[in-house]
Amino acid sequence: MKHAIFRSLTLLPWLALAAGCAVAPDVTPPKSAMSIELRGTGDLGLVIERETGSVQIINTTQQKTLAAIQGLGDLSHASVVFSRDERYAYVFGRDGGLTKVDLLTQTIDKRIIQGGNSIGGAISQDGSIIAVSNYEPGGVKLFDSQTLEQIADIPAEYAPGKFSKTVGLVDAPGHRFVFSLYDGGEIWLVDASNRSDIKTTRYQNVGLQPYDALMSPDGRYYVAGLFGEDGMARLDLWHPESGVTRILQDYGKGEAKMPVYKMPHLEGWAIAGNQAFFPAVGRNEVLVMDMNTWQLTGKIPVHGQPVFVMAQPDNRHVWVNFALPHNDTVQVIDTESHQIVRQLTPGKGVLHMEFTPRGEQVWLSVRDENQLQVYDTLSGKLLKQLPAQAPSGIFFSARAHETGL
């Protein structure tokens, strides 16, 4: 009976033609369309190859490299943000280069030299403005994300004729940007909601040498680390009129610091529930803070001086990499017990870590081994090794939907 039904169904188009009825057209795409590989952007990413001035476009689902793109200039200190549709990556190079990379066509869409020494950038809440943080000339510049035409120049002049390096640039809700002045000891809040009337609010005397900063995941708090003294500076963006508050002023006070082999990155802070885990400057410790009280609640001894302290998306574990001479090691901390539950030795020069959006994988750049390594976060098993030329930063397109990255 089934075979009879099948045969009758296959005859239906011919019977319809014989009866003069309309038949749905053949929807098989032409061969030329079938030969095009369609690709979404949600599992794509960019890897910086610092010594060759190139980037790799990678696919996290397939765990493979899709393309290598040359000609991005000095990438010795580079970072990346993504357009809201995840198609374009904006690469900020040390030579002041701003490069717009098309992840689908795997080409450079546009490239400009906007400064003399750039260390990072951000993209506005609506994705229309790119902000670039400069050492030389000291300040921040704003650009249209489509054309890369300059919208505004904000010199970081903290005293007459004195310009500061700018650090810790992040986006904030309300089409705002926040950054710190390393030389000036200030935090500036930029309101870019009206391109024709960009406003800047200065917060002075926030502390000595703010060196990096982070935004809390909800976009409320901007926290700058201070290199020149103990403590941190916090700006509440719900109540910016209240000014900057000093927090953790006594952590480490009176203790002898070790030489700092590499400045830690606060953008990699791990905020898990009401706890924040962050690297201590010049100490072999990960610090723990209560986000409700802004008080230090713990110090976790670790293998070396931490650089990045990053939480898995489920906040269950925190992954830590280290400065020389321990930069061949990664440790994993349980956020509940504060115990080290796993230690990996991927190889020399582990510079950066990046989790897939739902946290089943973590990708590591192992510079001195010229490798990317992919690990299963549940078992700690090495899943894949990919060749890369002195890789450093790893950036996945899911960052397009996170504030402050």
Taking Cα atoms as reference points, which of 157, 173, 141, 153 lies closest to residue 237?
Answer: 173
Q: What is the pLDDT of residues 253-269, one digit of tens each?
A: 555 565 555 556 666 67
Q: Who wins on pLDDT, 50 or 249?
A: 50
Residues 6+ apart with CB under 8 A from 277: 269, 270, 271, 286, 287, 288, 300, 309, 311, 318, 333, 335
What average pLDDT does the structure give for the chain?
88
Q: What is the pLDDT of residues 143-174, one digit of tens each?
A: 999 999 999 999 999 999 999 999 999 999 99
Q: What mean pLDDT comes out for the span 100-107?
A: 97
How far apart CA 169 and CA 384 sit, in angstroms, is: 33
User: What secondary structure letter does DSSP report for 280?
Assistant: P
Residue pair 115/160 in contact (Cβ under 8 Å)? The answer is: no
How far apart CA 103 and CA 14 sit, in angstroms, is: 46
Q: What mean pLDDT comes out for the span 380-389?
A: 97
* pLDDT (0 to 100) of residue 259: 59
Q: Of all residues in the chain, what percent carry a pLDDT higher than 70?
A: 86
Residue pair 317/335 in contact (Cβ under 8 Å)? The answer is: yes
Q: Of all residues in the chain, what percent carry a pLDDT higher than 90?
A: 74
Name the pTM for this structure.
Answer: 0.88
How far apart CA 378 and CA 281 sit, in angstroms, is: 30
Residues in the chain: 405
Q: In what order do the strands lie in the sheet with 306-311?
A: 306-311, 317-322, 330-334, 340-344
* pLDDT (0 to 100) of residue 226: 87
* Domains present along the chain, CATH in parentheses: 263-345 (2.40.10.480)
Q: What is the pLDDT of residues 197-217, one digit of tens each?
A: 999 999 999 999 998 898 888
How far apart CA 232 and CA 224 sit, in angstroms, is: 6
Three-state secondary structure of the chain:
CHHHHHHHHHHHHHHHHHCCCCCCCCCCCCHHHHCCCCCCCCCEEEEEECCCCEEEEEECCCCEEEEEECCCCCCCCCEEEECCCCCEEEEECCCCEEEEEECCCCEEEEEEECCCEEEEEEECCCCCEEEEEEEECCEEEEEECCCCCEEEEEECEEECCEECCEEEEEEECCCEEEEEECCCCEEEEEECCCCCCCEEEEECCCCCCEEEEEECCCCCEEEEEECCCCCEEEEECCCHHHCEEEECCCCCCCCCCCCCCCCCCHHHCEEECCEEEEECCCCCEEEEEECCCCEEEEEEECCCCEEEEEECCCCCEEEEEECCCCCCCEEEEECCCCCEEEEECCCCCEEEEEECCCCCEEEEEEHHHCEEEEEECCCCCEEEEEECCCEEEEEEHHHHHCCCC
How far apart CA 250 and CA 287 sit, in angstroms, is: 13
Taking Cα atoms as reference points, which of 112, 89, 92 lies closest to residue 100?
Answer: 89
- Is a pLDDT exceeding 60 seen at residue 85? yes
SS3 label, residue 272: strand
Token pair recorded at residue 367: 């510079």
Vertex 240: Cα angle to 237 and 242 (nearest 5): 130
Q: What is the pLDDT of residues 26-38, one digit of tens each?
A: 444 444 444 557 8
Residue pair 329/304 in contact (Cβ under 8 Å)? The answer is: yes
- Is a pLDDT exceeding 80 seen at residue 327? yes
Determine the distance from the C-alpha atom of residue 204 to the mean position of all C-alpha atoms in its chain, rounded to a whole number: 27
